[in-house]
Amino acid sequence: MRSEEEQAELLREWWEKNGRTLIIAILVSVVGLLGWRQWSATQDARAESASTVYSALSQALERTGAGEDREAMAAVREQADRLLEEYPRTTYAAQARLALARLAVMEEDYEEAAAQLRAVVDRSPTRAIEHMARLRLARVLLQQGDAEGALALVRRDYPEAWRGQALEIRGDALRAQDRHEDARAAYTAALEAMSSGEPTRDRVQMKLDDMTPAS
């Protein structure tokens, strides 16, 4: 076994060779940890702030009714513009565009509604929001008389939660093109895709009944 003096000398030599590197590594780790905590705190603060703005937007949107409350509509635009400017790459920005599209539809400004919805489709943060925006855009295109454009948007296979809506819109677009047999098939498929308690079933059933030839 080495004596205490030999062990001390080995430790001193090791420290001379590695001590500086060890200190630097410790400092880098500490600085990195502090930086990460600061970044996380900043992100949490931004997320909380964005959530507050979106909450104000949602409350104003609920007050708009069918577009009668102009003050509420102005509040929606104000909060939506803030979300788009300050949080452009977040889900809140996509929701802001959806809200602006809804206001545009209330005012029958379908060009503006389509522009906002296309922006969501092109840069959607989630697949669910993309599906929602695509279907809303298809409805807007139908309002503009673009049945073929609407069909293009619902031609893809949508997940189960959206399939019934997509098939209903397909039926609407085919009906607009006087393709009545195809439209009836789409409405029938929409009913099959919808759950029994889905509130839109009655609307689709009425459309199908309206197209069923009298016996």
Mean of pLDDT values over 113-136 = 94
pLDDT digits (tens, 9 = 90+) for 154-175: 988 899 999 999 999 999 999 9
pLDDT surpasses 60 at 194: yes
Cα gap 148→151, rounded to integer Å:
5
DSSP string computed for 133-189: HHHHHHHHHHHTT-HHHHHHHHSS---HHHHHHHHHHHHHHHHHTT-HHHHHHHHHH
- 15: confidence class by pLDDT, cuts 50, 70, 90: low
| pLDDT in the model for residue 30 | 57
Secondary structure (3-state) at 107: coil
Q: With contact defined as beta carbons under 8 Å apart, do 74 and 57 qualify?
A: no
| pLDDT in the model for residue 149 | 96
DSSP-assigned letter for residue 213: P
Burial 62-89 (b: 16+ CB within 10 A, else e): eebeeeeeeebbebbbebbebbbeebee
Half-sphere exposure of 182 (CA within 13 A, CB side): 11
Share of the chain above pLDDT 90, in %: 54
Burial 195-214 (b: 16+ CB within 10 A, else e): eeeeeebeebeebbeeeeee
| pLDDT in the model for residue 182 | 95
Tokens in use for 60? 């104003």
pTM recorded for the entire structure: 0.76
Cα gap 74→152, rounded to integer Å:
33
Q: With contact defined as beta carbons under 8 Å apart, do 83 and 54 qualify?
A: yes
Mean of pLDDT values over 12-17 = 67
When the pLDDT of each residue in the chain is averaged and rounded to a whole number, the result is 84
pLDDT surpasses 80 at 119: yes
